[in-house]
Chain A
């Protein structure tokens, strides 16, 4: 089975798997995020168009108000 890694968790890879699909599969409903794929920053307007390949290392950081 082809997989990707999201925040150190293994996830099944799918055809045309973009960032929005990944967030949905991970049940991430956070509003303010920073997303990196293999070290590259992916901005919000690029979530739909950024398709990951098998083996990709995805990091999702959830920013919460308070400071």
Chain B
């Protein structure tokens, strides 16, 4: 497969911009694996992804992994899957637990940061670390995506360089867990915003 054929449906003006971009993704679960797949298909030049977790059967309800990958580190399985989609994105993956001291080091070269954690504490930690260390670089986070339906309350909102996607109200609770359609929608809202920010000058 050559690059010209892969990008034949893209406006030729956008390809060099996308191919030059470096995007950070924090987490490779429901949000992160879906965001990565969309950004690779879009033709982003380089992705930096970190996650410490291994694939469990319960992840397959919403995450872009396969049953023969159970037990594998998520970042390794994701790398395998992304490589099958496109050789036109460079990948840097870290099997590591992110915290406030390693985030500025791992993601120092990204153009846009994407928050893709599961736990609210981690989301808050990443946003605070990002706004403290890189106040001028955009960060796109997700909040409120559990359950099903309620398309009409999903939205995105901009607060300076911080963008939030989701419904900002549906709590994770017994009986209301994240499911493929809604997680996929919000992940793709985040990926869509990445493209919007990269291509706004075009």
**A associates with B:** yes
A: residues with CB less than 8 A from B are 31-34, 36, 39, 41, 43, 59, 61-67
Assembled-state Cα–Cα distance A63/B131 (Å): 15
Task: List A contacts of B159 (CB < 8 A).
Answer: 36, 59, 61
* B160 touching A67, Cβ below 8 Å: no
Apart from the given pairs A36-B159, A67-B27, 10 other A-B contacts in the complex at a CB distance below 8 Å: A34-B131, A61-B141, A63-B124, A63-B141, A65-B118, A65-B172, A66-B30, A66-B177, A67-B29, A67-B116
Interface of A is mostly: loop
Q: Given known contacts A34-B162, A36-B159, A61-B143, is B118 in contact with A66 (CB within 8 Å)?
A: yes
Which of B74-82, B103-111, B163-171 contacts the other chain? B163-171
Nearest opposing residue in chain A for B118, CB measure: A67
Smallest beta-carbon distance A29→chain B, Å: 11
Cross-chain contact of A41 among B119, B131, B144 (Cβ < 8 A)? B131
Task: List A contacts of B145 (CB < 8 A).
Answer: 66-67
Task: List A contacts of B172 (CB < 8 A).
Answer: 64-66
What are 23 A-B residue pairs whose CB atoms fall within 8 Å in the complex?
A31-B120, A32-B120, A32-B123, A32-B124, A34-B124, A36-B159, A41-B128, A41-B132, A61-B141, A61-B159, A63-B124, A63-B141, A64-B120, A64-B166, A64-B170, A64-B172, A66-B118, A66-B146, A66-B183, A67-B29, A67-B31, A67-B117, A67-B178
